[in-house]
Structure 1
Amino acid sequence: NGQWHDEGLRALLQAAGGDPRIMVRDEVIDRAHVRALQRCCDAYVSLHRAEGFGLGLAECMEMGKPVIATGWSGNMEFMSDRNACLVDFALIPVAEGEYPGAVG
C-alpha cells in the first residue's frame, strides 16, 4: 500500500537502496509465496499499528523463527517478552483519511 504513503515509501526505498541484503516489496503476494518467504527468512518483523491476530507472527514462531513485533494488539494473546522481541509503542489517534474507508 505504498501508494497511500508516497513520501514514506520513497524514504524507505532510499534507506534500503544501498544494502543488497534488503528487498522491499510493495505488492500483494499469494499465500504460497508468503509461506515460502516465511520458511527462508531469518526473522519475521511486524511493526504494526494494529494486528488482528498476528497469523504471520504465529506461523513463524511455530517454525522456530525469531519474531519482532509491536507489543500491542491481537498478537499479545500469544506473545510475551519470553518468546518474542517486543517493541514499545505509544497509542495515538488515527488521523482522518489515514486509513482508506475508515471514519473516526
Structure 2
Amino acid sequence: MAPRADPPVGHLIDSARRGTRIDTSARQDWAWQQYARCRGLPPDIFYPPDNERQHARRRRENRARLICVRCEVAQQCLEHALRWPETHGVWGATTPRERSSKHS
C-alpha cells in the first residue's frame, strides 16, 4: 500500500494533546503508522471521553477493534504500545487493561 498524504495518525495527535513527551529516538520506528487503518480517523474512536460508562466503553472498544483487526500494521501498533507503555486508548486491537496483563 502506498503511503497516504493524510495528517498524522490520530494516536500521535492525541498524545500531543495530552502533553505526552515524544522520544525523538523512537521517531524512525514510527514509519509503520503511515499505513495504519486508523490514520485520519477521529481519536474518540480509540480514546475514552471523560466519565464514559461501561456499556459505552465496550461499544467504543469493539468499534476500534474492528478497525484494528483489519489493519496491516496492527502487530507493530501493539508492539509499540507495549514498548512505550501506552496507558490510554486502543492500540493494536487491545485495551489498556489487556496490555497491562500482557506487560506483566
TM-score (norm 1): 0.27
Larger relative contact order (Cα-Cα within 8 Å, sequence gap ≥ 6): 2
Structure 1 or 2, whichever has the larger Rg, is: 1
TM-score w.r.t. the length of structure 2 is: 0.27
